[in-house]
Chains A and B, each alone.
Chain A
Amino acid sequence: MSASCYIPENLTEALEIRKKVHAIPLAGGTDLMVQAKRGIGINPVFPAPIMIITNLEELKGIRVEEDGTLVIGALTTSAEIASDERVFYHIRKAASLMGAVSLRNSATIGGNIANASPKGDLPQPLILLDAEVVLSSIDGERSMKVDDFITGAKKTALKDDEIIKEIRVRPVKATHLFYHKIGTRRANAISKLSLSILADVEDGIVKDFRASSGAAGNKVKRDRNVEMILIGKHIEELPSLVEEFTSAWDGILSPHAMPKYRRESTRRMLSYFLERIAAGAEPGIIE
């Protein structure tokens, strides 16, 4: 039998339970239920109390605030994210390629972040966009960058009285976008490699450039110093910087998590993106 299981009716009740018994939140259950599986007809058992938050309305849905900040409730599913045009391209695309239809109907963004699997698909685009998580407890709220929240493989800064309330993404200016995921097979594919890139080009100058690599180590890899190699440069200079940039990028990927041939794919995608921009590619998605 399970330690105990709560079904809070609203966020306040959930936070009280979280504070009192540190119950583990179960959102979509797509990670937790697989971990706790015991077999046909046998109820799953968890080592600690559970609270099922699947139906907490306060944590659902997507909204855009006046200043353009996109707010995604922690219980928003991948399917909902994938079908909402207001969501920034990289996040939407990553959500649309998670698992198969039914998985996307259950899997939540909060669960994907809290699970902090290096192979999880949503942290990668969120980190690209400097997204923040808002953490709620009965005593108040705090927020931090997703990149700081995920501290390592399966490790986060979540305190035992907190739950993720929502994810906030401020608008990011970009002219050129790229997302690619290489998975294990057609459906329900867990990432072997994922890469997001964006560039903001104005009058031939690279005003901003960002990239992030998923499944590339203990956590998502991004490095502002490496991105700076390209920022401020004229697009005509890019071809001569490809080698320096891609080598520096390769240097931040973990050789253990990513074998050589997969690091080569990353390098090729980065080079391709830069070459397309140097060739004056129209603003939009680079495919």
Chain B
Amino acid sequence: MLDNKISFTLNGKKVEFIGDPLRRLIDTLREDFGLTGVKEGCGEGECGACSVIKDGKLVTSCIIPMGSVAGSDIWTIEGIRDTELGAIIIEAFADGGAVQCGFCIPGMVLASYVLLSEKTNPSELEIREAISGNICRCTGYDLIVESIRLADSRRRGV
């Protein structure tokens, strides 16, 4: 089996992966790049704990092989937290009491980031839809939805 060289962008920096193209993106991020904000819940695309942003879209990194990542632009919570919108969302989550155990939160923040990048003043339905693939076992979602609202109004300065 030949090791493949796969180039992609990770949190804004060009990086290279050399290895089995079937290696899961989540394992590469956590083990090879030390980005442990990416969490593994179900490992089957169901819970959203492993969410990352790939070419501007939310995806679950536990079911993406490295071979699919070639040439992509990948963002994890470690990169998003330093962006202006990312920082606003994280602060709103803290202020809005959206965080309990915290396991789902990186995925939730990334889902919120994609939503708020695409839409201003989203409806409650749109917010719930945007986070529908992110399972939270602690909060019952209402405080998360409220916090996303709060983030949206803060970044609009209202």
Chain A residues within CB distance 8 Å of chain B? 1-5, 7, 26, 29-30, 33-34, 36-37, 39-46, 50, 52, 54-55, 79, 99-103, 105-106, 186-188
CB pair B63 A2 closer than 8 Å: no
Interchain CA distance A105-B57 in the complex, whole Å: 7
Q: How far is the CA of A181 from the CA of B120 in the complex (A)?
A: 30
Known: A55-B68, A100-B133. A33 touches B24 (CB 8 A): yes
Report whether B44 and A2 are in contact in the complex, using a CB–CB cutoff of 8 Å.
Answer: no
A43 touching B67, Cβ below 8 Å: no
10 A-B pairs with least C-beta separation: A100-B133, A52-B67, A54-B68, A33-B63, A187-B132, A105-B57, A100-B132, A102-B58, A43-B23, A5-B21
Cross-chain pairs A/B with CB under 8 angstroms, 17 sampled: A4-B2, A5-B21, A7-B67, A33-B65, A37-B44, A40-B40, A41-B27, A43-B22, A44-B24, A46-B22, A79-B57, A101-B58, A102-B48, A103-B45, A105-B57, A105-B58, A106-B64
For the complex, give the distance between the alpha carbons of A39 and B45 in Å.
Answer: 13
Could you tell me if B4 and A34 are in contact, using CB atoms closer than 8 angstroms?
no
B63 touches A34 (CB 8 A): yes
Q: Please provide the chain B residues from 118 to 158 with a CB less than 8 Å away from any CB of chain A in the complex.
A: 129-130, 132-135
Q: Chain A's interface: helix, strand, loop or mixed, by majority?
A: loop
Q: Is the CB of B43 within 8 A of A37?
A: yes
Given A1-B1, A33-B63, A102-B60, do A41 and B31 touch, yes or no (CB 8 Å)? yes
Cα-based distance from A146 to B21 in the complex (angstroms): 31
Known contacts: A101-B133, A103-B133. The answer to whether A33 contacts B64 by CB under 8 A is yes
Residue of chain B at shortest CB distance from A45? B22
B102 within 8 A of A: no
A46 nearest CB neighbor, chain B only: B22
Q: A157: shortest Cβ distance to chain B, in Å?
A: 26
Point out the residues of chain A lying under 8 angstroms from B67, CB to CB: 5, 7, 26, 52, 54
Distance in Å from the Cβ of A13 to the closest Cβ of chain B?
14
Question: Which of B4, B60, B65 has the most C-beta atoms of chain A within 10 angstroms of its own C-beta?
Answer: B65
Cα(A29)–Cα(B51), bound, Å? 15
Whether A4 lies near B133 (C-beta < 8 A) is no
Q: Is the CB of B133 within 8 A of A188?
A: yes
In this complex, the member of A33, A36, A79 whose beta carbon has the largest number of chain B beta carbons within 10 angstroms is A33
* CB proximity of A35 to chain B, nearest CB, Å: 10
CB distance from A54 to the nearest CB of B (A): 4
List, in ascending order, chain A residues with CB within 8 A of B134's CB. Answer: 100
Interface of B with A (CB < 8 Å)?
Answer: 1-2, 4, 6, 20-24, 27, 31, 40, 43-46, 48, 51, 54, 57-60, 62-65, 67-68, 70-71, 111, 114, 129-130, 132-135
Task: Name the one of B23, B40, B48, B59 contacting A106, with C-beta atoms under 8 angstroms.
Answer: B59
Using Cβ atoms and an 8 Å threshold, which residues of chain B touch A186?
Answer: 132
A43-B22, A101-B133, A187-B133 known; A29 vs B63 contact (CB < 8 Å): yes
Q: Are the C-beta atoms of B21 and A102 separated by less than 8 Å? A: no
A41 to B43 Cα, complex, angstroms? 11
Asked if residues A55 and B21 are in contact (CB atoms below 8 Å), the reply is: no
B1, A102: Cβ atoms closer than 8 Å: no
* A102/B23 in contact, CB under 8 A: no
Q: Is the CB of B133 within 8 A of A55?
A: no
B1 contact set on A, CB distance < 8 A: 1-5
Nearest-Cβ distance from residue B101 to partner chain A, whole angstroms? 19
- Cα A1 to Cα B2 in complex, Å, equals 11
* B52 CB, nearest partner CB in chain A, Å: 9
B residues less than 8 Å from A43 (CB atoms): 20, 22-24, 27
Which residues from chain B contact A44 at a C-beta distance below 8 Å?
A: 22, 24, 65
Query: Taking the nearest CB of chain A, how far is it from the CB of B61, in angstroms?
Result: 9
Q: Which of A2, A7, A26, A30 contacts B45 (CB 8 A)?
A: A30
Alpha-carbon distance between A102 and B113 when the two chains are bound, in angstroms: 13
| Given A46-B22, A52-B21, A186-B132, A103-B70 contact (CB < 8 Å) | no
Q: Tell me, in angstroms, the Cα distance from A33 to B43 when the chains sit together.
A: 10
Q: In the complex, how many angstroms separate the beta carbon of B37 from the nearest chain A beta carbon?
A: 16
